[in-house]
Structure 1
Amino acid sequence: MQLPDSDKAFTGAIPELYEQYLVPMIFAPYAADLARRAAALRPARVLELAAGTGALTRELARSLPPQAAIVATDLNPPMLERAQVVGTSRPIAWQVADAMRLPFDDGSFDLVACQFGVMFFPDKAAAFAEARRVLAPGGTLLFNVWDRIEDNHFTHTVCQALAQLFPDAPPDFMMRTPHGYYRQAEIAAHLRQGGFLAAPAVETLPSTSVAASPRIAAMALCQGTPLRADLEARGTDALQHATDCCEQALAQAFGTGSIKGRMQAHVVTVPA
């Protein structure tokens, strides 16, 4: 399925809101998990794809030994710029790069890692082929993807609220892209097409998302993701009105004050 260009546009106000609200709410626990798995592999050269604002990058910099070289890439310059402002505990290399056309030599890395970015690649098999190409013999591809939206309660609640608000044309970004690539057979097929001959090891990993308030969760999902573009296109006040409605739905479902909700992802490990 060809994704709209807007699904991959993390620009404008999105990088700041993404880093401030979305990273601690849903990305931080899984970044720590991926970094732990990466450290266990003892790679000397690491390439990160779709690094965003650096949630996984920061964990890798802390978890890997100082001599391990880390190159963090993303398609969107504004996201990498925000990541560099936050910084890492030790120097790493930042580079704008398209995962479909990686600007690295064959066999350059021992580990290619990607946190919640694979879903955004227009051609998954082609992106996996590029990851396979830049991996050295014995290297590993390590990534995670969100499980189905029903197992990610904040996001599911927001989507249900938006479907009620816009019944004639419900916004479907969350279901189409972040939560649209969870079927393990499909992932395995794309990996085979990309040249990975070994069967992937897949672990389904539940966790808990935490937000300081329903307002923060609504802001994170409505305004700190490409869903924002869809909502802004619906009228001058649509983004604010949608955020308000989602806040109310989250408060009704999870209470006021600090809220918690179930989230779930698949973690995929496959040797080159």
Structure 2
Amino acid sequence: MTETDKLFAGSIPKLYDTLMVPLIFEAYAADTAELVAGFSPGAVLETAAGSGVVTRALAPRLRSGTRYAVTDLNQPMLDYAATRQGNGANGYSGSSTGSINIEWQQADALKLPFEDASFDVVFCQFGAMFFPDRTGGYAEARRVLKPGGRFVFTVWDRIEDNAFADEVTSAVAEIFPQDPPRFLARTPHGYHDIALIRSDVSSAGFTRIEIATREKTSRSPSARDVAIAYCQGTPLRNEIEARDVNALQAATDRAAQVIASRHGEVAVTGKIQAHVIVAAG
């Protein structure tokens, strides 16, 4: 992972939320919200919340009086998430959604600003791949969990099992054959080995670890929307523009062409696959 992999700024947060979220994140967000709410927690911590897709799904499911802390390392994404939640532009002073008090706070998942044993559930949807020290991040989650608490997180399976990401990566490589941008393969889809995940979680001190692999279908109104989502709504954009500031449109066009050739121009669907991990102990 590079430093640019963590840059979600400028127009990326809005494009990410309006295009990437419905494309690949919403279906898993609903599952994560159901799983977390099923533990009936009194206090929940979300790390790497991004634009808040799980926050929006989970908040209505939590019982009255639940403490819900929502964090992300990236301030622009957190700002955007707060506005989408309906809590105003900053939303960091304990604004409420119904009877749930949401605390918005910028925080590093590897150095959480919370006391030991503060939460019943800590969860992170598709953020662990970005941790520079995954075992350290998992240990931090364990530190702030109450006895008997659960740590829930999801990571993408290998890029070959995620059709659109794989096709976009191949298409953009045609534009830069000498130095192909590898963000999608390197980071979002670079942490997929189940044995390694289990080892990392165990090394953080968890003794009960369950891992399930779940396949879903990604849907989009058009091949072009998919191309824009990946090329302009993720840090892949940073890699493209770093190679040629004028090449973003050409890369997006080529990605749209490749996707259309395999899935059609409109109402496109593709396989996505991810691992869901629940750890305790």
Q: Please give the TM-score of this superposition, normalised by the length of structure 1.
A: 0.97
Match among 120, 124, 127 for residue 114 of structure 1:
124
Q: Does 1:220 align with 2:229?
A: yes
Q: Does 1:174 align with 2:172?
A: no
Deviations 1:87-128 (A, max 9, x none): 155341111000010000000000001110000000000001
Q: Which residue of 2 aligns with 1:105?
A: 115
Q: Does 1:203 align with 2:201?
A: no
Q: Which residue of 1 aligns with 2:246?
A: 237
SS at structure 2 position matched to 1:225: coil
Match among 36, 39, 51 for residue 38 of structure 1:
36
Q: Which residue of 1 aligns with 2:150?
A: 140
Deviation at 1:69, TM superposition (A): 1.4
Deviations 1:164-214 (A, max 9, x none): 22211111111110000010111111112211122x111100001111111
SS at structure 1 position matched to 2:272: strand
Q: Which residue of 2 aligns with 1:191?
A: 201
User: Partners of 1:236 and 1:122 in 2: how far apart?
Assistant: 28
What percent of counterpart residues are identical? 49
User: Partners of 1:253 and 1:69 in 2: how far apart?
Assistant: 46
SS at structure 2 position matched to 1:245: helix
What amino acid maps onto 1:20 in structure 2?
Answer: T
What amino acid maps onto 2:193 in structure 1?
Answer: R
Deviations 1:133-184 (A, max 9, x none): 0000000000110001111101111011112222111111111100000101
Match among 60, 64, 67 for residue 66 of structure 1:
64
Q: Does 1:267 align with 2:273?
A: no
User: Partners of 1:169 and 1:145 in 2: how far apart?
Assistant: 26
Deviation at 1:240, TM superposition (A): 1.1
Match among 224, 229, 246 for residue 255 of structure 2:
246
SS at structure 2 position matched to 1:170: coil
Match among 165, 172, 186 for residue 162 of structure 1:
172
User: Partners of 1:186 and 1:236 in 2: how far apart?
Assistant: 37
User: Partners of 1:241 and 1:46 in 2: how far apart?
Assistant: 43
Q: Does 1:127 align with 2:125?
A: no
SS at structure 2 position matched to 1:196: coil
> Which blocks of at least 5 consecutive residues in structure 2 are unaligned?
87-96
SS at structure 1 position matched to 2:9: coil
Q: Does 1:15 align with 2:13?
A: yes
SS at structure 2 position matched to 1:46: strand
User: Partners of 2:278 and 2:36 in 1: how far apart?
Assistant: 10
SS at structure 2 position matched to 1:212: strand
SS at structure 2 position matched to 1:95: strand
> Which blocks of at least 5 consecutive residues in structure 1 are unaligned?
none
Worse-matched range after superposition: 139-148 or 3-12: 3-12
User: Partners of 1:240 and 1:248 in 2: how far apart?
Assistant: 12
Which contiguous aligned blocks of 4+ residues in structure 1 show a shift greater than 2 angstroms?
88-91
What amino acid maps onto 2:65 in structure 1?
Answer: Q
User: Partners of 2:172 and 2:146 in 1: how far apart?
Assistant: 45
* Root-mean-square deviation (Å): 1.0
SS at structure 1 position matched to 2:269: strand
